[in-house]
A = this chain, B = another copy of it.
Amino acid sequence: MLTKQQLPTPTLLLDLDKFETNLVRMAARIKSSGKALRPHAKAHKCVEIARRQIASGAIGVCVATVWEAELMASAGIPGLLLTSPIADPLKMRRIVATGAMVVVDHFQQVAWYDQAAVEAGRKVDVLVDLDVGDHRTGAATPEDAAEIAEAVDQAANLELRGLQAYSVRGSHAGGPDERKRVSAEAFGIASRAIGIMLRRGLSTEIVSGGSTGTWKIDTAVPDLTELQAGSYGFMDLAYRREGLDFEHALTILATVVSANHAGFVTVDAGFKAFATDRGYGPEAVGLSGSVYRWGGDEFGYLDVASGSPKLGSRIEFIPPHCDPTVNLYDFIYACRGDSVEAVWPLKKRTSDILQN
């Protein structure tokens, strides 16, 4: 039986007991709220995890890239939604081939998708992406969203299904009260768009949004029909700082590779082992009072008040931000206690290959 202690480091570990607890907890909330869950697979890019999310009641998975959609479609994962607007006719052909629902925030995208749908000889389900205050993607106003929805509705090969109203800021707004305020503001904007669309007889059957950060808030919003939460299965330090209490199922195992000083050791996990976008570093499990400092591409320091770990010791770390950390790895070791139960491939691909 393979155990965690035998794995080459740095490596990514999933504690299955904690992961399953997180899945069950989210599923119960979703069920009692009467909403649907379409968890975001950009967090994991892992077919095995998507299968377990579907088994626990999810209606499908969200994806952020065409590649993720292709991966999930080829594995037979149902109910795909590409949450990112794209602007490349070649990519549009590929996403249409997967059967995924897509979003648009511009008339040009409506025309491109309609063309791609004709070429593929199939109808494409479409949500209008609404900017609910982040100004990242989405139609700029509820009125603009309704105009674009009208265009989708009139496009011969597109099927208008409703609205995407995702709040980027809502997910990590800085504590529960602020998340509640931002979410209320976001759904106020969404409500206006829904009102206009309903008066024009346009479908608002699906209203998709919400994150792990607002899982309790958004599941109480009447307008929302489905939640896009993704991080709840893994959890990370950023969400703990927001007061979320899902279990830390995701850790990174590292090894002490240099121990020549009092007060700190050097581990084999740096910028290539943990995503650095939150600024702060990971947290060592079971070494209270220790502090991680970045040490370069392949190194980090762990300051320890007393009892320095020895050369060769293994240390588990909770990552600052789960999604881009998982994106650094090719495999995740699914563990039950110390035993490795399975090795699941993570099919990340930032760049698609296109041969000459």
Contacts and interface: CB of A to CB of B under 8 A. Distances in A.
B328 A257 contact: no
Interface SS of chain A: loop
A213 interface: no
Contact of A11 (B275, B323, B352): B352
Interface residues of A, number: 80
A9 interface: yes
B312 A328 contact: no
B273 A276 contact: no
A268 B84 contact: yes
Interface stretch (A28-36, A238-246, A293-301): A293-301
Nearest to A340: B356
A74 interface: no
Interface string A117-149: 000000000000001000111111000100000
Interface of A: 1-2, 6-12, 42, 64-66, 84-88, 90-91, 105-106, 108-109, 131, 135-140, 144, 168, 255-261, 264, 266, 268, 271-273, 275-277, 279, 294-299, 301, 311-312, 321, 323-324, 327-331, 340-343, 348-356
Given A139-B260, A272-B327, A340-B356, 15 more contacts: A2-B356, A6-B90, A7-B352, A8-B91, A8-B354, A86-B268, A87-B311, A88-B255, A88-B312, A135-B264, A137-B299, A271-B277, A277-B294, A297-B327, A343-B355
